[in-house]
Every structure is written in structure tokens, then in C-alpha cells.
Amino acid sequence: MSERGVQRLLGSVPVDEQAARRAWEIVRAAYAEREPRRSRRRRSSVALVLAAVAAAAAAAVLSPPGRAVVNAVRRSIGIEHAQPALFRLPAPGRLLVAGGSGAWIVADDGSKRRLGDYPQASWSPHALYVVAAAANELAAVEPTGRVHWTLARPQIRFPRWGGTRSDTRIAYFTAGRLHIVAGDGTGDVAAQGLAAAAPVPPAWEPTTGDRHVLAYVTARGRVTVLDADSGNVQWVSAAYAGPRALAWSPDGTQLALAAKTRVIVFDARTGHATAIRAGGVRALAFAPDGQLALLRSHEVLLRAGGLLHTLFVPPGGRLSGLVWSPDSRWLLTELPAADEWVFLQVRGGRRILAVSHIAAQFGAFPSLSGWAS
Amino acid sequence: MRPERPELDRREHVWVRDAQRGSAAALEHLFRSHWPRAYRAALLVVGDAAAAEDIAQESFLAAIRALDRFDRRRPFGPWLHRIVVNRAIDWGQARSLRRELPRGTVNSRLRRGLDRLEAVLRRETA
């Protein structure tokens, strides 16, 4: 269609005045608050009818060539079914998931193995083992499901394994207290030994040396970086409201915190903080090659060259969970309401692969715990 | 009678400046002036009135979030319409998850129509 045709169509499409009023109320409120915030549809059944009428009117006004353009665009967008089952992972590696039906490892050929009745799990640093947790039990498990050791502790949350091949540590919470235990299950720090922690999974510094450095968020919202061997605190940040997620960059030089209204990137050595203006981030993840991805409930963002780019906006429902493939080419996120996983290609193309019927394949919809090589 | 373009530009410059300084009245002028075009452009692309409303609305919200960084020497309209176009592309790509489609392919097809649309919008606001 020519530019003149587009111009004519632009002028002829009727504007829904109610839509304008609704939008203005939301825009005005957002301006008054001056904080990043997504809009919410406020549409009554009457408004829906009006919108439908407006759409019908618009369709009536559009000329046949105009309709052809719109239809072509919609065809190019395409609406097809997602894959009905996970036939394979789009990148090499093994995916660890956990939830109401236990912990599972998914191989890249799509085969699945259930590790046991553990609603939480995470990989060991080199993915040789899994630390898994039931409500009152912490366990070190092989990917085959064989249990190496267990510890009985009350209300276990967020088990995380870090360290080198030769010497590892596991951090976990019990009712808001932080614990650290050696990788062989010995030397558990006394329950009252460490400060109360916010409900944010702790994170081990990726290390090639012999130190064991842990970052966690205190109940007051302060990021604390702790040398787990000496017990010395390296630095403590200012307090941040609404902390939600914590992640180290793969080279250990940066530590990122998702807080309520922004993401903070700390210099890991000094604790110097740099804010990214991105509110509502619920999860964040550094790729093995250093890219930082952020997850809001309605979009996945990628930070590149100091700027944030929208990578994916779902058609509906809230997103949860974010993990990178080991080759840094794919991101995986979840749409629980749609019972779908969504693989987003970040490098080597821009494909989006959706897999449905996740709950049926695992017995319940699981959370993403990690994707390891 | 429509005001002459230079007069509109002057007014818009003042509205943007005042909105950056916190004037809700100035923001309302900007909104009233640009909502119809933003909504129509979105509707033309996505062909769905509800989605067009969301896209235009979210584009204004994005513009507000970035208003402090907006360079007042630039015209507001093309900047807003660029946001609308990007949001419309996002909307389209969100629907591509149900089929394995190269995102680049979606973009190139969508962009051909959008580029024409943008050219018109840019000319009208230049």
C-alpha cells in the first residue's frame, strides 16, 4: 500500500473516545507517581463491547487494500500451537527443575529423571551433584537420584552450592536464618550464628581460587558479602526496599540485586553501587558470557551496551523463572498460567519456542532451578 | 482552524518543557494532541481495538518514564510514534511464540508496513 493509502487510512480510522479517557486516567496517575509502572487494563464488560464496536467500525472503514495490509501483518505474526511436549532442549546441557512433584533433571534429548520428593533444588558448582531440600531435610543427590547424605533441619529454603571441585560449601536458610555447611554435609554453622536473612536466595561468588564468598540479603534489605571461611564481612550495602533476587556475574566482578524499584549492580570488590532504572524486576540472571537478563512479570529484558532492550512480551499471564543455557544462546522462562515454557533465542537467531502441557509432563508445574552443561 | 506548524512546534516545545518540570496540564496537552495518531497507528498495525488501546497507552507510559531524558530540541511526535511502532512489534512478536518463527522474519515483514506508516507520521509531524 502506498504512503498516501496509509495516510488516508490513518485519517479515517475512528478514535475510541472512551479508550482515550481510560488511557488518560492511567497516564495521569503514572505521571503523578513518576515511577516505572506497567499499565493495567481497566475494561468493564461495557467497555469491551464498545471496543468491539470500535474494532468493527475500524474494520468497516478500512478499504480492501488496507485490510489486506492488516491481514498480511497478522498472518506474518502467526498464531499456531506450541509444541505439545518437550521433545528436546534447544541447546546442549541438563535442566534442573523442582516443584510440587519433586526435583527433575531434563536431558537435552528431552528425557527426564525424577530425583526425589524435593520441591527445591540447585546444581553443585560443576553440576556433578544436586543439593535438594524438602521441608525439613537437606540432601546431596547424584543426578542419578542416589542420595549421598542428608541433614534434618526445620523449614529449609533456598539451598545453594558453591566452591571449587576440591572444596565446596552449601548455604541454606532455616526460618530466615542463614546456614553454611561443607559440601560433605559436615560443619554446619550453628543456627543462631548468622544474621536473619531476607527471603532472597543467597549466591556464591563464582570462584577459581580457594575462597568461599557468599552474598546474601539481610532482613533489613542490605546486601552482605561474607567470606565464609574466615567469617569476615567484606562489605555491606545500603538498605534496599523489596529485594527479590541476587546474582553474580560469571567472572565474579559484579553482583546484581533486583529490588522493588530498580536493579542495583555492585562492584564486587568495593561494593560501589550503580542503579539501573528498572522497577518490578522479579528475577535476574547473568549468562555464562556475561549478558544480564531481567524478568518482570510481563516482559523479559536484556541489558546490552548499558541499555535495556525488551526481548519478549507474553500475550498474557505472568512470567516466572529465568535461566540461561550453558552456551549463552537461549533463555528459558515460564508462563504458569498458560502451562508453558518459553525458550527465547538470544544469539544465532531470534526464535521463540514454546512448549505446552508442562504440568502434565512433570506432575505439577515446576520452577526453573538451573541449566548446566 | 488548525494552527500553523511553527506555532504548534512552539506550543509543543513549551508543553514538553513544562511536563518535564511537573506540569500535569502540559502533559494533558501533549496527550490530547498525540493520542489519536498513536491509537490509530497502533490500530492500523494490529487490527485489534483493545490491543491498540493498550499499545498506545503503554507507549505514553514509556514516554513518561523517559520524559526527563527527552531532548526538547527534537519533535515529540516522531519520538512517540517510534515507541508506538516498537510496542506494536513487541505485540506481534509476543504472538509468534505459538509458532516457531524466526523473529527477524517477523520483524522484516512487519517493518515494511511500519516503515511506510512511520514515513507518513514523520512527514505529518515534521
| CA-based radius of gyration for chain A | 24
Q: Model confidence over A111-163: pLDDT tens digits?
A: 999 999 999 999 998 898 999 999 789 999 989 888 888 888 888 999 999 98
Give how far B30 is from chain A: nearest CA, Å.
11
In a domain, B2, yes or no: no
Question: CB distance from A337 to chain B under 8 Å?
Answer: no
What's the number of domains chain B is made of? 1
* Rounded-to-integer distance, Cα A358 and Cα A121, Å: 18
CB contact under 8 A, B117 and A10: yes
Return the DSSP state at A188.
Answer: P
Position B48 confidence tier, pLDDT thresholds 50, 70, 90: confident
In a domain, B76, yes or no: yes
Q: Which of A2-16, A229-243, B35-49, B53-67 is predicted least confidently? A: A2-16
Mean of the pLDDT values across residues A246-250?
97
CB contact under 8 A, B50 and A55: yes
CB contact under 8 A, B102 and A349: yes
Instruction: Sketch the domain layout of chain A as residue ranges.
Output: 3-77, 94-372
Q: Model confidence over A24-69: pLDDT tens digits?
A: 888 887 788 764 333 344 444 433 333 333 343 344 334 444 444 4
Chain B residue numbers with beta carbons less than 8 Å from the beta carbon of A39 are: 54, 57-58, 61
CB contact under 8 A, A76 and B120: no
Residues facing residue A105 across a β-bridge: A96, A113
Position A80 confidence tier, pLDDT thresholds 50, 70, 90: very low
Q: What is the pLDDT of residue A254?
A: 96
Q: Model confidence over B110-126: pLDDT tens digits?
A: 556 666 666 665 665 55
CB contact under 8 A, A13 and B104: no
Give how far A65 is from chain B: nearest CA, Å.
12
For residue A373, count other CB atoms closer than 10 A to its CB. 13
Q: Model confidence over A355-367: pLDDT tens digits?
A: 999 999 999 999 9
Give how far B46 is from chain A: nearest CA, Å.
7
Give how far A31 is from chain B: nearest CA, Å.
7
Residues facing residue A264 across a β-bridge: A257, A275
Chain B residue numbers with beta carbons less than 8 Å from the beta carbon of A41 are: 50, 54
* Rounded-to-integer distance, Cα A3 and Cα B115, Å: 10
Structure-block grid coordinates of residue A185? 554435609
CB contact under 8 A, A24 and B95: no
Assess whether pLDDT exceeds 80 at residue B102.
no
CB contact under 8 A, B120 and A51: no
Mutation to test the B interface, candidates A76, A301, A353, most B Cβ within 10 Å? A76
- Say which CATH topology domain A94-372 has: Methylamine Dehydrogenase; Chain H (2.130.10)
Position B62 confidence tier, pLDDT thresholds 50, 70, 90: confident
Position B43 confidence tier, pLDDT thresholds 50, 70, 90: confident
Chain B residue numbers with beta carbons less than 8 Å from the beta carbon of A59 are: 47
In a domain, B42, yes or no: yes
Q: Which domain holds residue B120?
A: 35-125
| CATH number of the domain to which B71 belongs | 1.10.1740
In a domain, B1, yes or no: no
Predicted TM-score (pTM) of this structure:
0.60
Give how far A120 is from chain B: nearest CA, Å.
28
Chain B residue numbers with beta carbons less than 8 Å from the beta carbon of A30 are: 61, 64
Q: Which of A3, A36, A345 minimises the CB distance to B120?
A: A3
What are the Cα distances from residue B3, in Å, to A326, B12, B126?
59, 12, 14
**End-to-end Cα separation, chain B, in angstroms:** 19
Mutation to test the B interface, candidates A16, A77, A261, A341, most B Cβ within 10 Å? A77
Q: Model confidence over A335-355: pLDDT tens digits?
A: 998 899 999 999 988 889 999
Per DSSP bridges, beta strands A102-106 and A233-239 are: unpaired
In a domain, B14, yes or no: no
| A–B interface: beta-carbon pairs under 8 A | 176
Question: CB distance from A71 to chain B under 8 Å?
Answer: yes
Assess whether pLDDT exceeds 70 at residue A99.
yes
Give how far B51 is from chain A: nearest CA, Å.
10
In a domain, B64, yes or no: yes
Directed axis angle between helix B24-46 and helix B49-65, to 10°? 140
* Rounded-to-integer distance, Cα A273 and Cα A162, Å: 24
Q: Is A100 helix (H, G, I), strand (E, B) or coil?
A: coil
* Rounded-to-integer distance, Cα A287 and Cα A324, Å: 6
Q: Which residue of B has its CA nearest to A34?
A: B65
